[in-house]
Structure 1
Amino acid sequence: MKKLLRHLALDITPLRQSRDFRLVYSGAAVSSVGSFITYVTVPYQVYKITDDPLLVGLLGVFQLVPLLVMAFVGGALADYLDRRLLVLGGEIAFTLLCGVLLLNSLSDEPHLWLLYLVSALTSAVDGVQRPAMEGLLPRIVTPAQIPAASALNSMRHDVAQLAGPALAGILIASVDLAWVYAIDLATFAFSLVCLAAVRAVPPPPAADRPSLRSVATGLRYARSRPELLGTYLVDINAMFFGMPQALYPFMANKLGGPAVLGLLYAAPAVGSLLATLTSGWTGRVHRHGLMVVFAAGAWGLAIIGVGLANTLWLALLCLVLAGAADMISGLFRMTIWNQTIPDHLRGRLAGIEMISYSTGPLLGNMRAGLGARVVGIEGSVISGGVLCVLGTLALAAALPKFLRYDGRDGLARKQAEDAAWAARASGPADRGLVHTD
């Protein structure tokens, strides 16, 4: 029994052995809670000013468009500049934007347009910072520690996703909005101190200068790797067909009223956290592509269960299972990305990854809403889950190399490509794509 628990337990080796990972992790853990507080507070403030659900929903549009553009820019910059400086610069920009929200909330009549502008700029900064943050991971931990580091990062996100909104609700109900934004501002101050202490992470040798050509190089590389395409397509399929979040308010009316709405939002995060805390086994599994397919299929089956559930406890259980399946898929996708992509392309591919996992849920919520108009709430959820499972099976059949992918082969390929790039960089300049097939 003790041996089984050791296999399941979360591996904290990266926190013990990597000083820079501890600093980045600590700063992100605190600032993420603050960011989720603001994530809840800004829509609430728009609601208080306008009392118009359409204007609240428009925040998503203002966030999506800059993200789609700046993720490519951020990826190219992350392959050319010190990634630590990009992350630190992004955190400074977030701090300034939070200060703008604080000042706006102190006004007698807060400006609505400023909330939209800050939301758009925050999304743009996120598009620049996040590829650098994700590209930082393989540089501050060893390749063998990447599965454990990915699980730790996932746990950090899950805890913030649970704690931030809950704390935001308490704060909004008890203090002025200015104090809510001030707390987020304080979390950024802590993060800045941590990031300032991280050692420099210089760009790879002979790094590609940011340009449309360098972005195209990253896109061509992603297209040439079936295991990477598999991670993008399987996740987009799962989120597009199986994301029911937009229907939670309507499901809550059936399952107990507005009081249970928060439980529906929290249940997937609980599943994600449970999967993360018992993720020790993932470092000993090498068929990463197969696990992504299994997890995406399990997500679809759990969503079917959500649609069929006629009691609150059953719906919550299915959402917990869905969240756990999604996290398992995410852990193996992150391992594929960080253990197989050569360092000189890591930033650009992180930008592509960001687009893949950001657009799926947004488009999935739109699909769920449109489906509900045609076949009803339960019909939309159930049909989405069924299409998710069928789409996963179709992609598995269409991408046999992804299904057979072995993480040990991917890691060996990355090491060979990094060595080939370093050798080429030390010789005559040639910035083309390195192939080591």
Structure 2
Amino acid sequence: MTDESEKMTAEQKNLYSRFLFIWFGQFISVIGTGLTVFSLGVYVYQQTNTASSYVFILMCVFLPPFLLKPYGGILADRYDRRLMMILGDLGATLGLLFIFFMMLKGNIQLWQIYLGIATSSVFSAFQEPAYKALITDLLPEAQYARASGLVQLASSAQYLISPFLAGILLTIIDIKFIFLIDTTTLLISSSIVIWIRNISGKVKIDQHKQNIIADLKEGMKEFSNNRGVFNLVIITMITLFFVGLLQSLFIPLLLSLTTVKTVGISQSICASGILIGSLFIGVFGSKNKYVKTLSISLFLSGIFFANLGLSKNIIFVTLAGFMFFATLPFINTSIEVLIRKNIDNRKQGRVWSLISMITYLGSIMAFAVAGFLADKIFNPLLEVDGLLAETAGFITGTGENRGIALMFIISGLMISMIALLIWQNEKIKRLEYVESQDSGIDLSFQPG
């Protein structure tokens, strides 16, 4: 019995080390993606000077995965999840190379930039569900929170490291070479997964005889039958609408306050809040009481969010942003663990894809209206002679993009109200006390 226990512990360590290799590859590729998104966002905004053109970059990033993720999740349940990650990373290079060659020809058009970004984003619809489900394959429940913290740490690199690097690189090289750097990081990431796949051997896959529609219905049934998970996902979707406004309008707001270089530094400092929170969770893990942690963290995030609109001082805005981002790992980890332990591992690929689609609907709606709200409604209201200049203007100040500041204040207060709703929701509270659907290790990776 002791030998079996020790063998199991060794197997756990082996699987965790493989997860770390895969995680490192994703960390590298996220940095490359961040370089592209930041550089293109600044480039497009400076060319057009409208928030709408910048927001459309984000729409091209998020809309294709939003539409295709359910199918990506089904494929992640039907086929080797490592293979899905490889195809996703390699496919994403196509759009980047398209933008690169169009820029080499000269006089690139906005639609060509949007097309290239959208093409790369299509493949993330197949990569991301497989990556999320692979975590459950490799790790036991006790390591879910730690893995989630590390995943968020990698995700934060897009905002922590990438803006700083992009600000430096854009002073040294032309923007078109940023896309070659991003392509290289994707090749590194896929190479690591190929290596792990080769040393791990074959994967046991349940052969599905039913069609895609039946798979979708089964995933929807698994998701909708758990009312606690359903309520949590809907609340998350609403929250992501307001966060989507921040994501789409933060750079335009900062560009009206300072230079591009300082914007990159400010965004990196803000994102270091995610780094601190993710490192804390990654090193120490997360205790129980996820619902309490979620409610308190979400409430505080709303307060810090609102503070982004209270001042034109870049130091104050950066500090508020740092505090806001520091709460996100605790929010994300709580939501992910509560959902992961309540969903059958055999259906996690399609369920995660459905959850991602529903929650991202909030972001998509924000991207769809953010530019219009900023350019046509809120910003004109807070110009020097705007209708709200003498009322709300006393709080936000008046001038360029102060309407965006007012949008941030309103959004932050709404998020804090949502936190109070979560605290009062009994169905969400019950998720805390449900045993995991699959608490042991999924030993799918057999030696070749």
TM-score bracket for this pair, using the shorter chain length: 0.7 to 0.9
TM-superposition CA deviations, 1:209-256 (whole Å, max 9, x none): 451221122122212223322432332233323543444367547866
Q: Distance in 2 between matches of 1:380 and 1:160?
A: 24
**CA deviations over 1:360-391 (Å, ceiling 9, x no partner):** 34434645735566664443322222222223
**Of the candidates 191, 194, 199, which is equivalent to residue 193 of structure 1?**
191
Q: For 2:378 and 2:53, locate their aligned partners in 1 and report how far apart those are by CA, in whole Å.
A: 22
Aligned to 1:394: 421
Residues 4-61 of structure 1: per-residue CA shift (max 9 Å, x gap): xxxxxxxxx9888623212211211212211211223344555677777644443333
Shift of 1:402: 0.7
Structure 1 CA distance for aligned equivalents of residues 253 and 289 of structure 2: 37
Check whether the contact 2:278–2:329 (CA below 8 A) recurs between aligned residues.
yes
Is 1:222–2:223 an aligned residue pair? Answer: yes
User: Match of 1:384?
Assistant: 411
Alignment of 1:22-421 (within 5 A): 22-44=20-42, 46=44, 54-110=52-108, 112-198=110-196, 199=200, 202=203, 204-207=205-208, 209-241=210-242, 243-248=245-250, 251-252=253-254, 260-279=262-281, 283-309=285-311, 311-364=313-366, 366=369, 369=374, 376-397=403-424, 399-406=425-432, 409-411=434-436, 413-415=437-439
Structure-1 separation of matches of 2:255 and 2:100: 35
1:357–1:200 CA distance, 2 compared to 1 (3 A): farther
Residue 186 (structure 1) shift:
2.0
- How has the CA–CA distance of structure 1 residues 53 and 203 changed in structure 2, closer, same or farther, with 3 Å as cutoff? farther
> Normalising by structure 2, what TM-score?
0.78
| Alpha carbons 2:35, 2:182 under 8 Å: kept | yes
Give the drift of 1:287: 2.2
Distance 2:242 2:103 in 1: 38
Q: Distance in 1 between matches of 2:194 and 2:313?
A: 50
Letter in 2 for 1:164: S
Does structure 2 retain, via aligned residues, the 8 Å contact 1:82–1:200? no
Task: Give the distance between the partners of 1:252 and 1:61, measured in 2 at CA.
Answer: 20
- Aligned residues of 2:68 and 2:125 also touching (Cα < 8 A): yes
What's 1:428 paired with? none
Output the amino acid matched with 1:234. I
What letter corresponds to residue 130 of structure 2 in structure 1? Answer: A
Unaligned runs of 5+ in 2: 1-10, 382-391, 393-402, 443-448
By how many angstroms is 1:357 displaced?
Answer: 4.4
Decide whether aligned partners of structure 1 residues 260 and 364 sit closer, same or farther in structure 2, where only a CA change above 3 A counts: farther
Return closer, same or farther for 1:159/1:226 CA change in 2, 3 Å cut-off.
same
TM-score by length of 1: 0.80
Post-superposition offset of 1:176: 2.6
> 1:391 corresponds to which letter in structure 2?
I
CA contact (8 A) 2:240 2:363 kept: yes
| Partner Cα separation in structure 1 for residue 100 and residue 253 of structure 2 | 35
My pick for the range that moved more, 110-119 or 63-72, is 110-119
Q: How many residues align?
A: 402
1:139: how far off?
Answer: 0.9
Residues 314/110 of structure 1: CA separation in 2 closer, same or farther (3 Å cut): closer
Contact 2:29-2:185 within 8 A present in 1 as well: yes
Give how far 1:334 is off. Answer: 2.0
Give the 3-state SS of the residue equivalent to 1:340 in structure 2: coil
Asked if the contact 2:146–2:283 (Cα under 8 Å) also holds between the matched residues in 1, the reply is: no
Q: Is the 8 A contact 1:248 1:265 kept in 2?
A: no
Work out the CA distance in 1 between the residues paired with 2:255 and 2:65.
33
Q: What's the offset of the Cα at 1:83?
A: 0.6
Judged with a 3 Å threshold, the aligned counterparts in structure 2 of structure 1 residues 97 and 392 are, in CA distance, closer, same or farther, namely same
Partner residue of 2:4?
none
SS of match in other structure, 1:405: helix
**Long gaps (5+) in structure 1:** 1-12, 419-437
Query: CA 1:294/1:206 → structure 2, altered by over 3 Å: closer, same or farther?
Result: farther
- Secondary structure of the equivalent of 2:184? helix
